[in-house]
Structure 1
Amino acid sequence: MNSTTISLTSAPPVPTVVRGDSPAGISRARQAARAFTDHLTPAPDPDMADTLVLVVSELVTNALRHGGGYYTLKLSAGPDTVSAAVSDPNPSHPRERAPDLNGGSGGFGWHMIRRLTDHLTITPSPGGGKTIHAHLPR
């Protein structure tokens, strides 16, 4: 009988922090999320890595569009989860709206984020604003 043991003896990954204040920051956030998952040991499932990149992209886009024009992204991982926390200066929680199927004005992001994440919380930031914590199973 063969058995495989996955060892988590290496140091936990150092959290990654990315800040942005323009549409170029969306691409930087996606690249950071991809690089973060590429360096995890053991490597996460490729579908989970793709999902994290998509969730990060949507959270950062929403922060820029609706959250005050800038964001801070913090990526972290534990043995069972990978997390993205996006902070912005707007204390208002995201609101669901009907997706615009014809005009292209959006409405899909928050629905998508909620469906793709395992656990989602929103906390007020100490200096105002909020942080959205998205957790995905590793």
Structure 2
Amino acid sequence: MPGSSGPGPGLRSAEARQAAREVLSAEGVAERVLDDVLTVVAELVTNAIRHAGGVTGFRVLRLPDAVAVEVSDASPLLPCSPGTPVSVPGGFGWLLVNKIADRTEIRSGRDGKTITAYLPLGAPAA
């Protein structure tokens, strides 16, 4: 698939954003789409660091009609929305990711989970 990137373990948010920017700029992705992608990258990577022990895998793919952001971590726990349950802090980043992305998918297994967010490319810039 065109446009993949991927340092994995120990990845920090700034490094992930930079890798995504390089890949997607080379692929000709419009700046307005890139801004949303970078927000999703920052939220997913930060959540993996804060709540799941760090990033174990990271990829950004330019698909024919979307950008896929894929972040893996070693925790089997699924992301939660704010207030579910009240004793669990956060959830606002996950809410933001789901607001920006067309759809999100979570694949969970013994070694953790992978979250993939799909953001539409939209109409080509004039």
Same fold (TM over 0.5): yes
RMSD between aligned residues: 1.7
> Is 2:72 aligned against 1:87?
yes
Write the distance in 2 (CA, Å) between the matches of 1:18 and 1:111. Answer: 25
Cα drift, residue 106 of structure 1: 4.7
- % same residue: 36
Mapping for residues 1-138 of structure 1, pairs under 5 Å: 13-21=2-10, 25-40=12-27, 43-98=28-83, 106-125=90-109, 127-138=110-121
8 Å CA contact retained: 2:80, 2:91: no
- Mark the runs of 5 or more structure 1 residues left unpaired by the alignment: 1-11, 99-104
- Could you state the TM-score of these two structures normalised by the residue count of structure 2? 0.83
- Mark the runs of 5 or more structure 2 residues left unpaired by the alignment: 84-88, 122-126
SS class of match (1:93) = coil
1:86-137 deviation line (CA, Å, top 9, x unaligned) = 0000011101114xxxxxx754211110100011010014x52000000011
Structure 1: 4+ residue segments shifted above 6 A: none
Q: Which amino acid aligns with 2:2?
A: P
Q: Which amino acid aligns with 1:92?
A: L
SS class of match (1:83) = strand
Write the distance in 2 (CA, Å) between the matches of 1:51 and 1:14. Answer: 17
Pick the structure with greater CA Rg: 1
Write the distance in 1 (CA, Å) between the matches of 2:42 and 2:97. Answer: 10
Q: Which amino acid aligns with 2:60?
A: L
Aligned residues: 116
8 Å CA contact retained: 2:70, 2:117: yes
